[in-house]
Amino acid sequence: MRDYFHHLADCLTAGLHGGEAYTAVLSSEDSDFVRFNHNEIRQAGHVTQHELAVDLICGRRHAGGSVSISGDAETDPARLATLVAELRDRYGTLPEDPYLLYSTAVHSTERRGENRLPDGKAAVAEIQQVGRGRDLVGIYAAGGVHRGFANSLGQRNWFSTYSFNFDWSFYHAADKAVKTAYAGFDWDSRAFARKVSWAGEQLDALRQPAQTIRPGRYRVYLSPVALHDLVNLLSSEAFGLKAHRTKRTPLLQMIEGGVRLHPALSLLENTRDGVAPNFQEAGFLRPDQVPLIAAGRYADCLVSPRSAQEYGVSTNGASAQETPESMEVAAGPLPADEALRRLDTGVYVSNLWYLNYSDRNACRTTGMTRFATFWVQHGQVQGPLNVMRFDETLYRALGENLVALTAERELILDPDTYYGRSVRSGRVPGALIEDFTFTL
């Protein structure tokens, strides 16, 4: 597909009129999908899709559109030519864009991930084996995801990665289930077995009568997934230059008021070890890492080309959304298998949902516990807790009240497949926190 993409880019270049330029981005995947319910295969299939997005530029005017391509060298160039003609008609009616910025320094790159994925039939057989006697519900997605960039200056970039993501639950009854995921690049049966064993223990605990605790402040352990849920909300607008300059970032007190998070907390955009491409849609390369929070202090912003143009700074290859795509939280010293003992008495939280800001300027978040949340006493799980709402500022939870982060971290791949398999990922530890506020 890389060579064919380059062929289509050459066709685009040949069809330009005087003074025109273009940028083009290919989004492609070859993926297997298997859906499970009651531990039975309910749907299985393979998806191959390729979409080419083109931005046609003339001076400071530009218009963008996209077309699905089939791989047919007879029909695809003609479809692209039709798209370009439509964009040419469109940009002539548009005003100049004062914030248009695209790469004019040619930096071609190629990064091909190694395909070490398991045989699909073997993975499905192993999944069904551990699901025997249980109501296993989930989706297994695996395969290659590819991204390409080209422009009329001759720049060519290519990125391929091969990953799997098994997003699944053991369902008990009503609103009680154990949700987990296993994702990566190499299927490790022992690692999968450890996840299944812990999920099985939680499923057994869910069979105990559910308890309700009073609103108040409790010592909590957030699983890596729960901490990822919190940090993912934070990422939506916290780290973009646009959000900082317009003062919409929830980290405003940190940036302007000198507020700090816990010194153990460091967060970075780690493109080198993620599953997102090392270039963005305007052709700028991304550095291997961008530190966002370092030892509890604000470190840097994600700067898209448009924000760079608007505010007169340099871009660091961020996407137009200026959100982390390969988010990583640094590990701590706490062994994960000692988390319950160190929690002692409090709440074990496996997942969060309905997350939002209750006071953005104070970085105060609210949301609900979900799935397997347990009351723990003297380091032992006592039984499930009914759904609770929390309301807590992250300056407290990830600041003065953060006790420890686990030494082990979990790779979490975004399970979104709505338009195509997502390339967003996180590598996150668990977190032990004091005085976490539950409101009902």
Q: Is the pLDDT of residue 56 over 90?
A: yes
pLDDT band at 7 (very low <50, low <70, confident <90, very high): very high
Q: What is the pLDDT of residue 132?
A: 93
Residues 222, 349: contact at Cβ < 8 Å?
yes
Amino acid at 260: R
DSSP-assigned beta bridge partners for residue 44: 34
pLDDT tens for each residue of 108-148 = 999 999 999 999 999 999 999 999 999 999 999 999 999 99
Count helices and strands in the chain by DSSP H and E runs: 10, 18
Q: What is the pLDDT of residue 310?
A: 97
pLDDT tens for each residue of 332-388 = 999 999 999 999 999 999 999 999 999 999 999 999 998 899 999 999 999 999 999
Q: Is the pLDDT of residue 208 over 90?
A: yes
Q: What is the pLDDT of residue 430?
A: 98
pLDDT tens for each residue of 295-347 = 999 999 999 999 999 999 999 999 999 999 999 999 999 999 999 999 999 99
Q: Is the pLDDT of residue 174 over 90?
A: no
- Give mean pLDDT, residues 258-275: 95
DSSP-derived 3-state class of residue 210 = coil
- Give mean pLDDT, residues 238-258: 93
CA atoms within 13 Å, Cβ hemisphere of 381: 22
Phi, psi (5° rounding) for residue 207? -75, -10
- Dist. CA 207–CA 204, nearest whole Å: 5
Q: What is the pLDDT of residue 237?
A: 87
Q: Is the pLDDT of residue 217 over 90?
A: yes
Instruction: Look at the pTM and tell me if it is higher than 0.85.
Output: yes
Q: Is the pLDDT of residue 74 over 90?
A: no
pLDDT band at 173 (very low <50, low <70, confident <90, very high): confident
Q: Domains in the chain, ordered, with CATH?
A: 2-202 (3.30.2290.10), 208-438 (no CATH)
